[in-house]
Every structure is written in structure tokens, then in C-alpha cells.
Chain A
Amino acid sequence: MEQQASEFPANVKRAIADSQLQWAMTETGPRFIEKRAKARANLPEFDALRDQARDIKDHVLSHLDLYLERYEAKVVQSGGQVHWAETTQEARAAIISICKRLDAKLATKGKSMISEEIGLNHALEQAGITPVETDLGEYLIQIRGEAPSHIIAPAVHLSRDQIEADFRKAHTHLDPNRDLTEIPTLVEEARQVLRQKYLDADVGITGANFLIAETGTSIIVTNEGNGDLTQTLPRAHIVIASIEKIVPTLEDATTILRVLARSATGQDFANYTTFSTGPRRPEDPDGPNEYHVVILDNGRSNVLGTEFQDMLRCIRCGACLNHCPVYQAVGGHAYGWVYPGPIGSVVTPALIGIEKARHLPNASTFCGRCEEVCPMRIPLPRLLRHWREQEFEKHLTPGAVRWGLSVWAFFAKRPKLYQFGTRIAARLLNLMGGRKGKLASLPLAQGWTQYRDMPVPQGRTFQAMWKERKRG
């Protein structure tokens, strides 16, 4: 998909003015938070499991080359094939080459963020292969020609009315007078339409939540069972996954699974957790004749060993999005590419370059909720700060901001002058606020006062109070 991360400021303006989007975000956001909190409260060992999950991934990242080699050997041993792709182009080429060899015309797809990252649907269409998304949310955004707006709930920005209108437009072969006023009837219609696609598909393409080095197994986690039909019914199953999806053993995958669904949807476990190891064996009642895994790098190996390495622990649960005040205000499309929210603001600059994505690390209040809820304990605010440092070092920050920062730095490096200045500024603002105690307009802070009044500083400065308490 075309990336528009550099359009973030304009996208945000549009998102804030979009009343339908604002309604959708208000409606769904709190539910995710509430469900996760309940799931966490019901499992006393939740935080200990987060520690273990973090340690597992850290161990993997320190031995990633060895685990990838072992994983590949195990896939081959079970009759599958592994294709390595350094770039998105190579990943697309590998998949299309398999499809062409099989003379595939129709490919069903399970939900995969990597497939979005490599722009697979467009490439398949260009090659004469029709891709059909089978995850309901992905199916909805496919028929709308949109990108996902959330990592686990791609159509979270849509209302029931919009979905009804889209179905009527897309499913013209069905009775135009049918009743689509209830959610179950919409789901039933999608099921009916997709059921035949599963049977007709030549190739099934899925992502992978985990690749297990011990067994050469790929795991997908879904709530609709669409992944199972996608990967077992067609002649070939193609898995597309990035290098950091490796875990050493089944036991390790199980540990991370304990925190995945709880963090994502607040479920103890997703409805379907499906393990695939190789193609159909002679004694198997069903399954694909071919099993392929396309392993994508796309810049991730450059992140290893850097201050950004921790981002490779991400298991794409979406908890950081659900708890981010910025994401909840602007939705996922504003971020302009595949990965929105705090993790997107860290991953996107790593994959497409800070030059094209410099706005994203600034889309944070540093409130720290993302780090607080991350099941893999990724220090997201710290990583965002590193990107801001790089933005500054590469002179990507606009002149006015650089000037403002240098003025602030001048005072910050001179504590006495800083304290004196803040005392004067606080008193001045207090006087300007008058009886109301608020400022309707303030030079250099119109971005704030355009939408709300600025409360004037109350009492003395923090420094003064700190000094007094230390004395007392």
C-alpha cells in the first residue's frame, strides 16, 4: 500500500473533523481497555508471564540467526519450503511465483499485517490472481479499498450502517430487499459469500503469530476460524512472516499466547489457535499439498543490536493502540501506513525511514500507558524519544522548533536563570489570566488555545516547592 506517513498532520486534521470516525473511536476504545483490565485481574500471574515473554524474545533476538536456520531445517524436514526475502519486492515475487506455478486464479487470505506491509493484494491483482480477504474486518476494508485502521480490528473505524451500504454495493448478486439491519445478518452474509471462495481457492495465504524453531510449525491466532479454512482447503498454503516471529519451542509459544489474547481482546485465549507443520501427509484426512513459508526481513535485521531492538519483541496485540490517547483521538488511518499507534510510530520509521515518518514519533504525549500495558514490556516512550533524537540530529525538525528548543536548552543549562525566568513567567501569566485564571489566547501556544483555554500557573514553581520541602 502507498505510504502517507509524511501526511500525518493533514491526516490528523481530517480525522478530528470526521464525526463518524470520532463516534467509532469513542464507542470502541473504552471496551478494549475494560476487557484487558478484567482479563489481567483474573490472572494473578499476568505480570510474571509478561516478564517471561519478554525474556523469551530477548533470548531469541540474541540467537536469531541460529533459530532461523533451525526453523528452516525443520520446515524442510516436514516437507515444506522456506523462501527468504530481503525486501517487500522479493516477498511479493516469491508468492506470485508459487501462485503462477500452480496456475492459481484465486487466493484466499487470512489476516496478515505483513501482507499489508508488502502490498500483496495489489501485486496479486496485477499478476491476474484475485485475492479474497477472509477475516471479516479485512474483508470489509478490502471491498472499501482501505488500509486497516487497527492491528487486530482493521475495520474498527466503521459503523454498522457503513458496512450495510458496502455489502449492498459489493454483493449485487443477492436480493436487494434483504434485511441487513442486524449485525448477525451481516456476519451471516459475509459467511455465505466467503464459504464458496474457500472451496474455489487455489492458494491460501496466511500470516503467522509465531514460527516455532523446535518443530518448524507456524501458528495463527484468529477469532473467526477463517484462517483454518484458508490454509487447509486450497492446494497450497503460503505463510508470510517476518524474521522476528521466531520462538524457540512450543512451550515458549504457549507462554506468549497466555499474554497475547488477554492484551489484545481481553480473552483468555483466542477462539482459534491453529498449528501448521508442513503439507498434508499421506495419512492426513485433509490439508494442502504444498506448504511454503516466506520469511521477510525488510530492514528488521538492521534494527538488531541498535537502541531500537526492543521493538522486535512486538507480538502485534494492539494493546498500545487501545490505551493511546493520540491513537484514540485520530484513529489508525492518520498514521498513513500499515502500523498505527505507538508501536507504529516506532516501527514505521525503522521500515520506511525517519525522513518519511518524522511526524509519527512526535504523535505521543509520553503518558507512558503504552509501555504500562505492553505484554512484551517494550519501552515505547524511550524508543519514540530515540526517534525524536534522530529527527533532531538529522536536521529534519523544522527551524522554528529547533530555535525554540535551543532557547529552552540555553535556560535549562543555567538553573538559576531558568528558575528566575519561570518565576517571572508564572507571575506574568497569572496577571494576564486575571480573575478567570485562564488565558483564551497565548503567543506561541495558539495550537492549544485554539481549542481550549490555558489555565494559568497556580502558586509557586515546582523548583521553589521542592527546595522548600527539602529544607523542611
Chain B
Amino acid sequence: MDSARARILARIKRSTPKGDEAVRIAAVEQRLQHPQHNLVPERGQGDEAHRIGVFTRMMEAVGGTVEVLDDVNDVPVAVASYLRNTNRPICPGIVRRRSK
């Protein structure tokens, strides 16, 4: 397999554009050491409020709902409230596991 490696790499090297090898190495090093920022679509940029807005719009487009909470500790109450308001039972599996 080592010889396969050598042969594959040698064939690739032969096929690459002829030029200064140091320049090729430098181009690769530059790209890996200092990854460039590629294009990020406009909708993924902007401040946090903008991005939350985009997320909410896209979540709602696929039938989801979004509720913004101020505190992470409010999550259980919000989830329970959502389930109650949409007439969905709390998963029995979760209840059983908690009661162990």
C-alpha cells in the first residue's frame, strides 16, 4: 500500500501545473494556516436580533414555533406550558425515568 501511496502522489505531482514548487507549498500553507472567510449569505450576517429574526422566520416556514426566553431556567416551564396549551402529553418515558 505504501507503494500505492507513492505512485498515486507521483502521478498527481506530474499532472499539476508546472511551476515553482515552493510557491505551491506556500499557497497551501497560507490557506491552511490562515483560512479565508468565504461568502456568507446576507441572511446569515447582521446582528443577533437579525439572526434571531431569520431563524424564527425559517423555523415557522417549516411548521415550527419559536418563543424567546430571558433566562435558561425558564425553559422547563415554557416547555410544559407549550405542551399543555397544544394539548400534548408530557412524554411518559421521561416521567418514568425521572421517577426512578
Do they bind each other? yes
Residues of A within 8 A of B (CB): 43-45, 48-49, 52, 56, 59, 62-70, 83-86, 90, 94, 213-214, 243, 248-252, 254-255, 258, 268, 295, 297, 301-302, 304-306
Measured in the bound complex, the distance between the Cα atoms of B15 and A289 in whole Å is: 37
Per a CB cutoff under 8 Å, which of A65, A68, A70, A249 touches B35? A249
Q: Taking beta carbons and an 8 Å cutoff, which residues of B are in contact with A?
A: 1-2, 4-5, 7-9, 11-17, 24-25, 27-28, 31-32, 35-39, 41-42, 58
Q: How far is the CB of B10 from chain A (nearest CB, A)?
A: 8
Q: What residues of chain B lie closer than 8 Å to A52, measured between beta carbons?
A: 38-39
**A interface, over-half SS:** helix
Contact of B11 among A49, A249, A250, A301 (CB under 8 A): A301
B38 lies within 8 A of A214 (CB): no
- Alpha-carbon distance between A49 and B27 when the two chains are bound, in angstroms: 22
Nearest B-chain residue to A305, judged by Cβ: B15
- Distance from B50 Cβ to chain A, minimum over Cβ atoms (Å): 16
Residues from chain B with a CB closer than 8 A to the CB of A84 are 1-2, 4-5, 8
A45 to B8, CA, bound (A): 37
Give Cα A56 to B14, complex, Å. Answer: 21
Q: What chain A residues lie within 8 Å of B8 (beta carbons)?
A: 68, 84, 86, 243, 295, 297, 301
Number of A-B contacts (CB under 8 A): 94
Bound-state CA distance A45–B16 (Å) is 31
Q: Which of B9, B14, B42, B58 has the most CB of A within 10 A?
A: B9
A50 to chain B, nearest CB (A): 10
Q: Is the CB of B41 within 8 A of A258?
A: yes
Flag if A90 contacts B38 (CB, 8 Å): no
Chain A residues with CB under 8 A of B27: 59, 63
Contact B12 A90 (CB under 8 A): no
Q: List 13 A-B contacts (CB under 8 A).
A: A52-B38, A65-B9, A65-B12, A66-B25, A70-B32, A90-B1, A213-B32, A248-B35, A249-B32, A249-B35, A251-B38, A254-B38, A304-B12
- Residue of B4, B17, B24, B36 near A66 (CB, 8 A) is B24
Complex interface: chain A residues within 8 A of B5 (CB): 84
Helix, strand, loop or mixed for chain B's interface?
A: helix
Task: Please determine whether A48 and B39 come into contact, CB atoms closer than 8 angstroms.
Answer: yes
In angstroms, how far is the closest chain A Cβ from the Cβ of B28? 5
By the criterion CB–CB under 8 Å, are A43 and B41 in contact? yes
CB distance from A115 to the nearest CB of B (A): 19
Docked CA distance A400–B4 (Å):
43
One of B4, B9, B35, B36 near A90 (C-beta < 8 A)? B4
CB of B32 within 8 A of CB of A85, answer no
CB distance from B19 to the nearest CB of A (A): 9
The residues of B that contact A90 with a CB separation of less than 8 Å are: 1, 4
Kindly state the separation between the CA atoms of A85 and B58 in the bound complex, as whole angstroms. Answer: 44
A251: chain B residues at CB < 8 Å are 35-38
Contacts of A69 in B (CB 8 A): 9
Contact indicator A85/B4 (Cβ below 8 Å): yes
Q: Are B13 and A65 in contact (CB under 8 A)?
A: yes
Docked Cα-Cα span, A304 to B10, in Å, equals 12
What are the residues of chain A within 8 A of B25 when measuring CB–CB?
A: 66
- Chain B residues lying within 8 Å of A214, measured Cβ to Cβ, are 32, 35
The answer to whether B39 touches A248, judged by C-beta atoms less than 8 angstroms apart, is: no
| Contact A252 B16, beta carbon cutoff 8 Å | no
Tell me, in angstroms, the Cα distance from A70 to B28 when the chains sit together: 9
The 8 Å CB contact of A68, one of B9, B32, B38, is B9
**Which residue of the partner chain B has the closest CB to A91?**
B4
CB neighbours (8 Å) of B7 from chain A are 86
Shortest distance between the CB of B7 and any CB in chain A (Å): 6
Contacts of A295 in B (CB 8 A): 8
- Determine how close the nearest CB of chain A comes to the CB of B61; give it in whole angstroms: 10
* Extra contacts besides A44-B42, A49-B41, A248-B31 (6): CB < 8 Å: A48-B39, A63-B27, A64-B12, A65-B13, A68-B9, A213-B32
- Contact B31 A85, beta carbon cutoff 8 Å: no
Cβ–Cβ < 8 Å partners of A85 in chain B:
1, 4
Chain A nearest CB: distance from B27 CB in Å?
6
Cα-based distance from A62 to B28 in the complex (angstroms)? 10
Query: Which of the listed residues B16, B31, B42, B58 has the most CB atoms from chain A within 10 Å of its own CB?
Result: B31
Q: Once the chains bind, are A64 and B32 in contact (CB under 8 Å)? A: no
Q: Which 6 A-B pairs have the closest CB atoms?
A: A305-B15, A304-B15, A84-B5, A301-B11, A249-B35, A255-B38
Give the residues in chain A near B31, CB-CB below 8 Å: 59, 248-249
Distance (Å) between the CB of B43 and the closest chain A CB? Answer: 8
- The docked-state distance in angstroms from the alpha carbon of A67 to that of B30 is 12
Chain A contacts for B9, CB-based, 8 A:
65, 68-69
Complex alpha-carbon distance, A252 and B32, angstroms: 11
- By beta carbon, the residue of chain B nearest A66 is B28
Best-surrounded residue of A56, A66, A251, A252 (most CB of chain B within 10 A)? A66
**How far apart are the CA atoms of A249 and B82 in the complex, in Å?**
41
A428 to B80, CA, bound (A): 82
- Shortest Cβ distance from A252 into B: residue: B38
The residue in chain A whose Cβ has the minimal distance to the Cβ of B31 is: A248
A249 to B17, CA, bound (A): 22
Distance from A303 Cβ to chain B, minimum over Cβ atoms (Å)? 8
Known pairs A43-B41, A66-B25; A248 contacts B12 (CB<8 A): no
